[in-house]
Amino acid sequence: MAKNTKANNTNGHMNRREILRQQQAAQARRKRTITVVCIALAVVVVIAAVALIVTHVNSVNHQKNTAGAATAQIKPPDLTSDGTAIIVNPAAKDAALTIDVHEDFQCPICKSFEDTFGSAMNQIIDNNQALVRYHVRSFLDINENNDWSNLAAQGAMCADTVGKFKPYHDTVFANQPAVEGTGYTNQELSTTFAQQAGITGDDLTKFQACYNNHQTSQVVSTMESLNMSAGVQGTPAFFVNGKSIDLQTLAGLKSNDAATLLAAFQKAAGLS
């Protein structure tokens, strides 16, 4: 009997120890679960806080950059009737070719095109060999988390009010920051680039008032919205008489002179 009692006691102690061990293990698991949940909640809170800060900063920047929308807005004189582009050479209205160029001032590939073919395009424009329309886009602000495409576009629209759209356009691209997303500065867009584009005297005063008061902000936002709705969602994009021309076609040209570029546009339009 004594042996059985002792065995029972031993088994009882072992059962209690096992129960205690299981209870301790369960408690440890609960603590670990609570810790993980707390950490996860903390991470969510931090992410939410950062998102809130970014949203607030973007909202403040947007309000600053569009504050002039309540001011009298200016319609650039060379704006197309549908509001989608600026015509850089209205005198070529009867030309057989119409070239539509979609560019964003923060687009590196757009700059590559300008560096390669900018001079040739200017010759085509100056000689009125084609009616050329620039669709100034600003959607890259979303990717770059800034407002510099929009602001540069506003500057270009203001430059058109003093007859300097193309020189200003060329100057902004020539000075595009080497690091994508760095953006420009208001000093550059309002003064430095304007002066480099040949805007001086009373015209500079008029241009700066237009830029500083965001008097073309609605034109820029409408232009982006209309072009995006038309299905042109990337830059650069080129259309000749309404027909898209592949970038590889331009990249494959053996020369970057005006005659070669014009021939490529004519071929794309089916005129050669």
Q: What is the pLDDT of residues 67-124, one digit of tens each?
A: 444 589 999 999 999 999 999 999 999 999 999 999 999 999 999 999 999 999 999 9
Find tokens 């072992």 and name the residue.
Answer: 14
CB-CB neighbours of 180 under 10 Å:
14
In the predicted model, is pLDDT for residue 160 greater than 60? yes
CB 232 within 8 A of CB 100: no
CA distance 86 to 173: 17
Cβ contact 204:163 at 8 Å: no
Which residues have CB under 8 Å from 62's CB, separation 6+?
A: 147
Q: Which residue shows structure tokens 């095109």?
A: 113
**Greater confidence, 35 or 182?**
182
Amino acid at 212: N
What integer pLDDT is reported at residue 12 of this predicted model?
Answer: 53
Q: In which band, very low, low, confident or very high, does the pLDDT at 126 lie, cut at 50, 70 and 90?
A: very high
The predicted model scores a pTM of 0.76
Residue 66 has pLDDT above 60, yes or no: no
What is the structure's pLDDT at 27? 64
